[in-house]
Structures are given as C-alpha cells and as structure tokens.
Structure 1
Amino acid sequence: METQETPFKAALRSGMIVGLISLVISYLVYFINATSMASSWMLLLVALSFVLVLVFGFKYRKELGGYIPFGAAFQFSFFTLIVAGIIGMFGQILLFEVIDPSLPEVLVDQQIQNTMEVMENFGAADAMSTEQIDEMKQGLLDRYSFAGQIKAFGFVLIFYAIIALILGAIIKRKEPTPSY
C-alpha cells in the first residue's frame, strides 16, 4: 500500500525550493543593482512566490489522486510560505549583517528618496521637517537589523495565513460524491 505524503512534508520540500529561488533572485538583484531592492519591483518576487506555491500545490494535489480538502491545501500553502519565508529571512539577515552591512543605509536612503518624490508629486514635500525625516530614517534602519527582521517575520506570518487561505481555496478540490 502506497503511503501519501503529508501536507507538512510536501510543504517542507516545496518551501525550500520557493525560498531558494526567491533568495537567488534577491541576491542577483543585489549584485546587479542594490538600490533596486528598495523599489516596487520586489512585489513581483512576492507574486512569483505565490504562483510557485500554487504550482507546487497543484502538483501535490495530483500526487494525492487529484483531490485535496481545503484544510490540507491550507496547511500545505501556509507551511510552504513559512519555510520559504524563513529561508528568505535568514538570507536577508546574512546579506544585511555579514555580506554588506552598509546596504541597509543605501536602501533606506533610496526609500526616503522615493517617498520624497511621491510627496513632491502630491505637493506635500515641504510638509516634513528634518527631524521627521531623521525619525523615519531611523525607523526604516531598525527594520533591517537582526531583531527588526525577526519582528517583521512575526507580522508576515499573519499575511502568510491570509494568503494561504486564498491559495488553499484555489488548490482544494472535493472528491465528487456519487449520486444514486
């Protein structure tokens, strides 16, 4: 009798693949142009991760015989995102703390510049004082620290749960009930 892989085991394998792909892309962007890491293109990386979770979820469903209940689909999606997120978080910590400790400063400067450009477009660039800009800069820098990354991951878990609900609903497929 063939044993079926649990959602947790399947998610571990899939999460490692999604996490490593995301990490490789992030590092490539860093080596090509580090300031691009502060742009909105990074949302495409997040979207790619969700698409990969769907692809692996459909593959897992097929391995189970073409049907998967919502609960198992949610568990698969959520744990895949968690594993990928942990890999990504430690990769980012390695990048910010070991490989290039000056990178957070570069990214924060770019983020502030982007924010000021948006505020200029709305005619509100003069609304912020130097103290407010310095405070915003320090808050952004804190997010790149080791503790900031860990804390942010806690909030990301809530986001992952919501996304996993959506992905689980897409992946699930009920077995047809025979009609007599």
Structure 2
Amino acid sequence: MEEQQTPFQAAIKPGITMGLAALAITYIAYFIDSSLLASFWMLLVALVIFFGLIIYFGKQYRSEIGGFMSFGTAFNFSFVALVVSGIISLIGQILLYQVIDPSLPQVLTDLTVEKSLEMMESFGQNPDSLPPSALDEIRNNTAASFSVGGQLKNFAFGLIFYAIIALILAAILKKRDKSLDY
C-alpha cells in the first residue's frame, strides 16, 4: 500500500508552484510597466489567482487522501503552501529590488505615496493640510518597506495574513465523511 503524504509534505510542491507563479506575475508586471507593481488591481488579480490555485491543489490533495479532509488537515496544507510560496516570492522580490533594479524601490515609493494622497483626497481630506513631517514619515516608512529588513518584517506580519487566508481556505476545502456518522 502506498504511504500517504502528510499535509506538510503535500503542500511543498503546490507552495513552490504558487511561489514561482507569484514571481512570474511580479516579473512580467515589472517588464511591462513597473508602476503595475504598485497597483491595487495587480494585488487583486494575484489574490484571485492564488485562491484558485490553493483550492485546486487542496482538492487534488483531498482526493489523494480518500476524498475527505478535516479542517485541521486543510488548514495545515493551506498554511504551509502559502508560507512556502511567500518565501519564494520574498526571495524573488529581494532580488528584484536589491540586485536587478535597485532604483525600483524609489519609483514604487513615489507611486505609493502619490496613490495614498489621492486616496486621502477621495475621502475628502486635503493632503496639503498634512504637516510636512507627516508626509516625510509616510515616505520614509514606505521606502523602508522595500529594504531587505522591511521585506523580512512584512513577511513576518504576512504570516498572520497567511493564517487568516488558510483558515478561510480550510473552511472551503474540508470535507467530512458522513458515512462515519452514527
């Protein structure tokens, strides 16, 4: 009889696939127009793709283990796949921002600050009413998020986001064997 993989083992390959897909999307967007990397729509498209991929891989794993999966197993599978994907994506982004195009963080900082000010205007607040020190702080914090340390810190905070996403995905992927109910 073939030995079943644990959720941790089974999540490695999908995580690598999702991480490489994230890198491909990031680098394609960069080569098309680097301003896409600061776009809300880019983030939304990436989220939809990753939800679709993890659900696909999760259903595939569920069928491999007999067609049923507990919430805990589904959570472990989803979380590990997201973390592996995040690590690969992190490495690729560090390479992009620090090695391939070291000027990109400044471009993205400027775009992000500009979009933040536009959003403030759309909510009725006048960005000119902000003191210059507040604008400098926004700019410095945004620029710091593109440094290696900032990216590592963002990844650490991202683990909380991954856990929340994994909880949602686990609720979608779980399937109980009702024949075991008495």
Deviation, structure 1 residue 50: 1.9
**Correspondence 1:48-59 to 2 at 5 A:** 48-59=49-60
- Whether the 8 Å CA contact 2:74–2:174 is kept in 1: the answer is yes
Task: Give the paired residue count.
Answer: 180
Unaligned 5+ segments in structure 1 are: none
Deviations 1:9-36 (A, max 9, x none): 1100000001101110110000100011
Do residues 5 (structure 1) and 5 (structure 2) align?
yes
Q: 1:179 to 1:167 in 2, by over 3 A?
A: closer
Residue equivalent to 1:77: 78
CA distance in 2, matches of 1:40, 1:179: 46
Q: Which moved more, 1:166-175 or 1:41-50?
A: 41-50
- Whether the 8 Å CA contact 2:113–2:142 is kept in 1: the answer is no
- Amino acid in structure 2 at the alignment position of 1:177: S
- Amino acid in structure 2 at the alignment position of 1:112: V
CA distance in 1, matches of 2:8, 2:119: 43
CA distance in 1, matches of 2:147, 2:181: 59
- Amino acid in structure 2 at the alignment position of 1:28: I
Unaligned 5+ segments in structure 2 are: none
- Whether the 8 Å CA contact 2:75–2:167 is kept in 1: the answer is yes
Residue equivalent to 1:109: 110
Deviation, structure 1 residue 178: 4.6
- Amino acid in structure 1 at the alignment position of 2:53: L
Residue equivalent to 2:96: 95
Q: What secondary structure is seen at the aligned counterpart in 1 of 2:153?
A: helix
Residue equivalent to 1:127: 129
**Correspondence 1:37-52 to 2 at 5 A:** 37-41=37-41, 42-52=43-53
Do residues 20 (structure 1) and 5 (structure 2) align?
no
CA distance in 2, matches of 1:158, 1:25: 23
TM-score, normalization: structure 2?
0.94
CA distance in 1, matches of 2:118, 2:181: 62
Residue equivalent to 2:34: 34
Residue equivalent to 2:65: 64
Q: What secondary structure is seen at the aligned counterpart in 2 of 1:66?
A: coil
CA distance in 2, matches of 1:178, 1:84: 35
TM-score, normalization: structure 1?
0.95
Q: 1:178 to 1:128 in 2, by over 3 A?
A: closer
Residue equivalent to 1:156: 158
Deviations 1:32-88 (A, max 9, x none): 000111110122212311221111000100111111111111100000000000001
CA distance in 1, matches of 2:99, 2:23: 15
CA distance in 2, matches of 1:176, 1:123: 55
